[in-house]
């Protein structure tokens, strides 16, 4: 049995899975804010799942954690976890010191990529395109994560796509993240609705011209990300996950329409069959926590 935790900005998901990746137990907790609270939430999540499984933490074959931020998966050090309220945290050492067993720390998108790869039974190469507050990808090639020489592989959100676009917090202008992410929607479509992206899509369906324009910009941005991932890595499949993936077939349909329109004007792109290589992550499955559990033993 392996244990995996996905520490999100609001919720922490913890699972126990068997070696085949089948979900055995699951616990969800509210994530604390700030480094001491994040460590305590994680320890509680581990204890709760272990007790459901009737095991002690030390009995698991591995424990893996997925967390947002810049993660050094060798040292377990996490930086710039802005949404969790800390700049730096030696999470691996903090947890190992309390649990008495080693814990593997991964970036949450990287963990989700591995989880999606296993859950979907993909056998060749895959990019997991996470559409959350930002946009980033995790890459799995022949069953192994490709993190890059310095852990930056897949950080496509900060590839500028519009030289006249918005200034990005990273210091560049017109990054992909400024047009194709949850935060870009939140800035462009001001609403009190707890599900702003859904509200945007509904308004566009009702013919609101501003909503139509924002929705169209999102579809073009996501389609650009798909094209970028396939042209640079030639991954067989791009799996869309993250908060915006809850838009489901409405989002996939929009993105497919953009990709198909490009194929009509480019025989080169048509030959790549981009539309048929995109799919959504399975709804309601804790892919990041499952991935964290499985990558802990990889």
Choose one: 110-118, 155-163, 228-236, 252-260; the region binding Zn ion (CB under 5 A): 155-163
Kind and range of the H or E run holding 107: strand 104-107
Nearer to Zn ion, 89 or 168 (CB): 168
For residue 30, give both structure tokens.
Answer: 């509210």
**What does the buried/exposed string (b/e) look like for 188-223 if buried means 16 or more CB atoms within 10 Å of the residue's CB?**
bbeeeeeebbebbbebbeeeeeebeebbebbbbbbb
Axis crossing angle, helix 209-233 with helix 196-205, rounded to the nearest 10 = 120
What is the 8-class DSSP label of residue 109?
A: H
Binders of Zn ion: how many residues, by CB under 5 A?
A: 5
Structure tokens at 187: 């800035």
CA separation for the pair 51, 43 (Å, rounded): 12
Determine how many CB atoms are found less than 10 A away from the CB of residue 97: 10
Looking only at the bridges linking them, the beta strands covering 135-141 and 144-146 are antiparallel
Cα(first)–Cα(last) distance of the chain, in Å? 14
At closest approach, how far in Å is the CB of 176 from Zn ion?
A: 8
Beta carbon of residue 163, minimum distance to Zn ion (angstroms, whole number)? 13
Query: What residues from 161 to 220 belong to the interface with Zn ion (CB under 5 A)?
Result: 168, 170, 172, 175
Q: Which stretch binds Zn ion (CB under 5 A): 110-118, 160-168, 227-235, 247-255?
A: 160-168
Min dist CB 185 to Zn ion, Å, is 16
What span, in angstroms and rounded, lies between the C-alpha atoms of 154 and 136? 6
Instruction: Show the tokens assigned to 126.
Output: 């895959």
- Considering the complex, state which of residue 175 and residue 203 has its C-beta at the smaller distance from Zn ion: 175
User: What is the spatial distance between Cα 225 and Cα 29, in angstroms, rounded to a whole number?
Assistant: 32
Q: Min. distance of Cβ 177 from Zn ion in angstroms?
A: 6
Q: Closer to Zn ion at the Cβ: 47 or 183?
A: 183
Closer CB to Zn ion, 24 or 159, in the complex: 159
Output the smallest distance, CB 233 to Zn ion, in A: 20
Among 151-159, 203-211, 228-236, 244-252, the segment contacting Zn ion (CB under 5 A): 151-159
Mask: binding to Zn ion, 68-87, rule CB under 5 A, as x and -?
Answer: --------------------
158 or 277: CB nearest Zn ion = 158
Does 158 help bind Zn ion (rule: CB under 5 A)? yes
- Measured from the CB atom, the residue of 177 and 254 that comes closer to Zn ion is 177
- By CB under 5 A, name the binding residues for Zn ion: 158, 168, 170, 172, 175
């Amino acid at each position: 049995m392996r244990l995996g935790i996905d520490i999100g900005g609001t919720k922490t998901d913890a699972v126990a899975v068997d070696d085949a990746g089948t979900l055995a137990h699951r616990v969800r907790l509210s994530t604390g804010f700030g480094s001491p609270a994040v460590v305590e939430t994680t320890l509680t999540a581990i204890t709760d799942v272990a007790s459901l499984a009737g095991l002690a933490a030390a009995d698991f074959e591995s424990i893996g954690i997925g967390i947002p931020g810049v993660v050094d998966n060798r040292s377990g050090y996490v930086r710039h976890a802005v949404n969790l309220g800390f700049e730096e945290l030696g999470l691996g050492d903090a947890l190992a010191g309390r649990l008495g067993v080693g814990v593997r720390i991964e970036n949450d998108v990287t963990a989700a990529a591995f989880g999606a790869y296993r859950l979907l039974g993909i056998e060749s190469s895959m990019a997991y395109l996470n559409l959350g507050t930002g946009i980033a990808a995790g890459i799995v090639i022949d069953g192994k994560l490709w993190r890059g020489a310095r852990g930056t592989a897949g950080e496509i959100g900060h590839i500028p796509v519009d030289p006249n676009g918005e200034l990005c917090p990273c210091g560049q202008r017109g990054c992909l993240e400024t047009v194709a992410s949850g935060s870009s929607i939140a800035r462009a479509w001001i609403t009190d609705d707890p599900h702003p992206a859904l509200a945007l899509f509904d308004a566009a369906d009702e013919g609101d011209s501003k909503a139509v324009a924002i929705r169209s910009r999102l579809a073009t941005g996501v389609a650009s990300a798909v094209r970028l991932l396939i042209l640079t890595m030639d991954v067989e499949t791009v799996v869309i996950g993250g908060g915006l993936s809850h838009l489901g077939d409405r989002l996939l349909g929009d993105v497919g329409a953009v990709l198909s329109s490009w194929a009509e004007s480019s025989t080169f792109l048509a030959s790549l069959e981009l539309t048929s290589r995109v799919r959504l992550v399975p709804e309601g499955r804790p892919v990041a926590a499952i991935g964290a559990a499985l990558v802990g033993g990889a």
